[in-house]
Chains A and B, each alone.
Chain A
């Protein structure tokens, strides 16, 4: 059983919400939950070289708050909120805490089909959503069709790019502009799907361990 609910401060930032959701999901893995229960301290994360940062406090019930507040280790994440495998600041003095934060922020790869279904569950009742969603993985040519409606909004890409998008770690508009994702649908649907991806990212009630 996962431990207690992750506490967030009042008026949390997007990064705080995302990390709290990550922590909730990851704790469904018993091994990671055990590791969390055995780890103490305050772990900071920073997104890229910029100022966006948060601190996860493991002393007491896990809590996430904005900024680097008393962090004993600091891991730098990619824009997709994954540990970029640079050295973790403070790891020499707090190796267990450093290991914990690296585990949290480098989760095992998910299943793009399940991610597509989770996104559709978030999307289907949203005003302005397409009648259906079709996701195509380019290497295998496999297709996941969600919804019973006629016209499907189609998203094509390689597995990693699809996973980042469907889990809300990357942005549809940017990925489509960059060419890593191909899309077929209306322009306003980009907006609605972007919102659903974000909600899927911070939703603590669903998602894989």
Chain B
């Protein structure tokens, strides 16, 4: 990152003719402006304005209604986006273009309650101040690629698309057709150009589906990487005449997750999630497991934010369906992998790919904080497969947007850590989403045109 008083020379040396200011609203939609260099220099410290509609419109561009918006919205007031200069980056694949990620604030410079990135920063700071711990996050991002260019996909109303790479649904298959490899190789080049440390990519369990793994970083950077990766993949798709989507379920075969691999960095060299006493015995790890489980039903609203998110919760199909944990068991919601000090971690398998990464990581850090602050102990690990269970075998994850919203509304502890204003606002938007879905017909059995037209390009 250049020093603020060296920005002008940095722009000149990198040949920058446009700076893309990027910010993420509550729905996880990437918003922003393209700034001329002089304008960027003028707003680099104090930010630039957007209308409050950044948080006021739903996925389809309609005004969302039904709850107390908070005084900060006024009568279509402005909100401010302040660039985080730590994220300023000259894109090597797009000469002349730089990008910077911003945080939403009030006109007085206070973090906006509904800004997920600001919420995540605050919770990381609380963990650091209280325990001297820093969350480290590696991500697995799943998405679906189609042969058709976007204008054709739109003409077909997002249906009857051809999965890129042929009909195979075999995971890790290296012999899908070369067009799949071409796409993913170009994607990897784009991520290199953005200095996003991808570690691997592979085919996933649906035709046209890929998974790309982003290596461990601090939690804020990890979330930044998600939004930049999604934009980069859309750009690659456009360049190659393909289409990509991050919907949680496009049709019955294409569930997409965003698995979060979480570890902690402490003041010493030891991994706080590892203990030589045996698997999943480290005291800090157990607090985090307990806190994540205790808050999981409520946090589900963030992990599965759209009506479409819940369609991926199919038994024995990959996503977890119960509030559960276990060592080395991918059917559980939390999979601990703790045999090695170097890689001891919790894999949180609940979040859907259409979720807002800042809110997902904020909810996860909040769960860990609650586990530590309240000194919670986890239940025994789940000893069997955690799918297809009878109702009394394990608590179920909320399986609809309404049930998840109710669970969040009932969890005062999580609400107090995340911020009551932010949670109330979020709940209002989820209930609006529920209402909009059902007024469109709300077919419970199949992905609807409402979902495809609303989410395919937006999430």
A→B interface (CB under 8 Å) = 11, 13-15, 47, 50-53, 66-67, 126-128, 171-173, 186-188, 190-192, 194-195, 198
Q: Is there a chain A Cβ closer than 8 Å to B74's Cβ?
A: yes
Q: Are B67 and A195 in contact (CB under 8 A)?
A: yes
Is B69's CB under 8 angstroms from A51's CB?
Answer: no
Q: Are B66 and A52 in contact (CB under 8 A)?
A: no
B65's contact among A13, A15, A127, A191, by CB below 8 Å, is which?
A191
Closest-by-CB residue of B relative to A15 is B438
- Once the chains bind, are A192 and B443 in contact (CB under 8 Å)? no
Q: What size tier do the contact residues of chain B reach?
A: 20 to 34
| B133 interfacial by beta-carbon distance below 8 Å | no
The 10 A-B residue pairs with the shortest CB-CB distance in the complex, in nearest-first order: A51-B441, A128-B68, A195-B66, A194-B65, A127-B68, A188-B69, A187-B75, A13-B438, A191-B65, A14-B438
A193 to chain B: closest residue by CB:
B65
Q: Which residues of chain B (429-459) have a CB below 8 Å from chain A?
A: 434-435, 438-444
Instruction: Report which of B64, B403, B428, B439 forms a contact with A52, defined as CB distance below 8 A.
Output: B439
With both beta carbons as reference points, the residue of chain B lying nearest to A16 in the complex is identified as B438
B38 within 8 A of partner (CB): no
Residue from B65, B74, B400, B434 in contact with A173 in the complex, judged by beta carbons closer than 8 Å = B65
Closest to B448 in A: A51
B406 to A, closest residue via Cβ: A11
Cross-chain contact B443 with A51 (CB below 8 angstroms): yes
Q: How far is the CB of A125 from chain B (nearest CB, A)?
A: 12
The yes or no answer to B402 lying at the interface (CB within 8 A) is yes
Distance from A164 Cβ to chain B, minimum over Cβ atoms (Å): 16
B245 to chain A, nearest CB (A): 23
B63 at the interface (CB under 8 A from A): yes
- Cross-chain pairs A/B with CB under 8 angstroms, 8 sampled: A14-B439, A171-B65, A186-B74, A187-B76, A191-B65, A191-B67, A191-B68, A192-B67
Residue B34 CB within 8 A of the other chain: no
Whether A13 lies near B442 (C-beta < 8 A) is: yes
Is B73's beta carbon under 8 Å from chain A?
yes
List B residues at the A interface (Cβ < 8 Å): 63-70, 73-76, 400, 402-403, 424, 428, 434-435, 438-444
User: Nearest Cβ distance between residue B78 and chain A, in whole angstroms?
Assistant: 13
Docked pose: A13 CA to B66 CA in angstroms: 17
Do A52 and B441 contact each other (CB < 8 Å), given the known contacts A186-B75, A188-B74?
Answer: yes
Q: Contacts A128-B69, A188-B68, A188-B73: A50 and B63 contacting too (C-beta < 8 A)?
A: no
If A188-B68, A191-B65 are given as contacts, then 12 extra A-B residue pairs at C-beta distance below 8 Å, sorted by A number, are A50-B441, A51-B440, A127-B68, A128-B67, A128-B69, A171-B65, A172-B65, A187-B73, A187-B74, A195-B67, A198-B66, A198-B435
A192/B68 in contact, CB under 8 A = yes
Provide the bound-state CA to CA distance between A29 and B86, in Å.
67
Contact partners of A198 in chain B: CB under 8 A: 66, 435
Say whether, besides A13-B438, A14-B435, A126 and B68 are in contact (CB < 8 Å): yes
- Select from chain B the residue with minimum beta-carbon distance to A52: B441
Q: Which residues of A contact B438 (CB under 8 A)?
A: 13-15, 52
A28 to B80, CA, bound (A): 53
Q: How far is it, in angstroms, between the C-alpha of A177 and the C-alpha of B392 when the chains are bound?
A: 50
A198 to B74, CA, bound (A): 23
Min Cβ gap A77→B in Å is: 12
Q: How far is the CB of A50 from chain B (nearest CB, A)?
A: 5
CB-CB under 8 A from B73, the residues of chain A are: 187-188
Shortest beta-carbon distance from A205 to chain B in Å: 19
Tell me, in angstroms, the Cα distance from A110 to B65 when the chains sit together.
25
Complex Cα spacing A149 to B286, Å: 52
In contact, A52 and B442 (Cβ under 8 angstroms): yes
Residues of B within 8 A of A194 (CB): 65-66
Residue of B at shortest CB range from A127?
B68
**Pick the contact of B66 from A11, A47, A187, A191 — CB < 8 Å?**
A191
Give complex CA distance A173, B57 in Å: 13
Q: Is the CB of A52 within 8 A of B440?
A: yes
Contacts of B435 in A (CB 8 A): 14, 198
A188 to B76, CA, bound (A): 9
Are B439 and A66 in touch, CB under 8 angstroms?
A: no
A66 touches B442 (CB 8 A): yes
Q: Are B69 and A191 in contact (CB under 8 A)?
A: yes
Question: In the assembled complex, which residues on chain A have CB atoms less than 8 Å from the CB atom of B65?
Answer: 171-173, 190-191, 194-195
Q: Enumerate chain B residues within 8 angstroms of A11, measured Cβ to Cβ.
A: 400, 402-403
Cα-based distance from A183 to B237 in the complex (angstroms): 46
Q: Which residues of B are found within 8 Å of A188, using beta-carbon distances?
A: 68-70, 73-75
Q: Which residue of B lies closest to A185 (CB)?
A: B75
| Min CB gap A56→B, angstroms | 17
Residues of B within 8 A of A128 (CB): 67-70
Most buried by B among A11, A188, A191: A188
CA distance A30 to B274 in the complex (A): 69
Interface centre among A13, A47, A52, A53, by most chain B C-beta atoms within 10 angstroms, is A13
The chain B residue sitting closest to A129, CB to CB, is: B68
Closest approach, in angstroms, between the C-beta of B120 and any C-beta of chain A? 25
Query: Measured between C-beta atoms, what is the minimum distance from B137 to chain A in Å?
Result: 32
A186 to B75, CA, bound (A): 6
- What's the least CB distance linking A127 to chain B, in Å? 4
Q: Which residues from chain A contact B66 at a C-beta distance below 8 Å?
A: 191, 194-195, 198
Say how far A13's CB is from chain B's closest CB, in angstroms. 5
Which of B67, B73, B403, B440 has most chain A Cβ within 10 Å?
Answer: B67
Nearest-CB distance from A184 to chain B (Å)?
12
Q: How far is the CB of B42 from chain A (nearest CB, A)?
A: 29
Report the Cα distance A127→B420, complex, angstroms: 13
**Neighbouring B residues of A192 by C-beta, 8 Å:** 67-68
